Amino acid sequence: MLNIHGFGDNLTINNIRIGDLSPDEHEKIDLEKGARNYDPLENVVVSHVQDSSTLICRKPAKNAVKSFIEEELIDGLCCYSAVNQGQLNQTIVNAVVKHLVEEKLPTVPRSIRHKYMSAFLMATTGITGMDRVVPKVAGVEAP
């Protein structure tokens, strides 16, 4: 039985709290449960959004296994589509806000590792019983 509760860093799926996972643990879940049609940036997990085109990412600290450093990452994806969420298209923004408020699971790109992708993959494979998942918005531009 699948058990999902909480949201944000407290989002928990089958007793795994998403906010407690390291970038390596997120990568392991992605590699195990996500389809292999996209290669995200390595060792980067977005922790939060600063504005419509700047993401704050976590990277492992060079000298400490369980420590992280935070850096800004410019989201180039917000530049390549007129209806990308980064463009603040009102229809998209309204749909995303409704999704976040009612379902509490963010929509995120696969070009970067994101803490909620692990939650999405764990929940979706748990619900469907499938081994792997290709998120709806992924891979249309992949070769």
pLDDT in tens, 117-129: 888 888 888 888 8
pLDDT in tens, 53-112: 677 787 777 777 677 777 777 666 555 554 455 545 566 667 667 766 776 555 556 666
- Residues for the chain: how many in total? 143
43: which 2 tokens? 């060792």
Residue 131 has pLDDT above 80, yes or no: yes
Domain ranges of the chain: 4-128
For the entire predicted model, the pTM comes to 0.50
For 116-143, what is the mean pLDDT?
A: 74
Strand, helix or coil for residue 12: strand
Q: How far apart are CA 38 and CA 110, in angstroms?
A: 7
pLDDT band at 142 (very low <50, low <70, confident <90, very high): very low
Q: Which helix (H) or strand (E) holds 58?
A: strand 54-61
